[in-house]
Amino acid sequence: AQSVTQLDSQVPVFEEAPVELRCNYSSSVSVYLFWYVQYPNQGLQLLLKYLSGSTLVKGINGFEAEFNKSQTSFHLRKPSVHISDTAEYFCAVFPSGTYKYIFGTGTRLKVLA
């Protein structure tokens, strides 16, 4: 069975500070990896995805993530956050040979002035 773990349910950080949101997964098959962002009372929007190739993936809004196969992790980073980055962030995996995403429980990022 596959699973996704986002250990941090909430992450407070001051504006212009760096942030890392952690994501670990477990899977017996190869997976594709995604990060989505959800602003209050809205749907999810894709930030970035890892399919193959370079393990460092750059996405929208200055976010990037690094795939680490040995540690089964896909942590999301941003060197300097803005107030507008306040949102909930979801890590998801798409196991090879299936037709559905498995989502983590989300990390609520709160950027403080």
Partner 1 sequence: DGGITQSPKYLFRKEGQNVTLSCEQNLNHDAMYWYRQDPGQGLRLIYYSQIVNDFQKGDIAEGYSVSREKKESFPLTVTSAQKNPTAFYLCASSPGQGSTDTQYFGPGTRLTVL
Please identify which residue in the block is written with the tokens 């929208």.
60
Instruction: By CB under 8 A, tell whether 96 contacts partner 1.
Output: yes
- What is the C-alpha separation between 109 and 112, in angstroms, rounded? 10
Tell which positions 63-82 bind partner 1, by CB under 8 A: none
Q: Which of 34, 35, 63, 74 binds partner 1 (CB under 8 A)?
A: 34
CA dihedral in degrees (55, 60, 92, 45; nearest 10)? Answer: -160
Chain residues binding partner 1 by CB under 8 A are 4, 9, 32, 34, 36, 41-46, 49, 51, 90, 94-101, 103-106
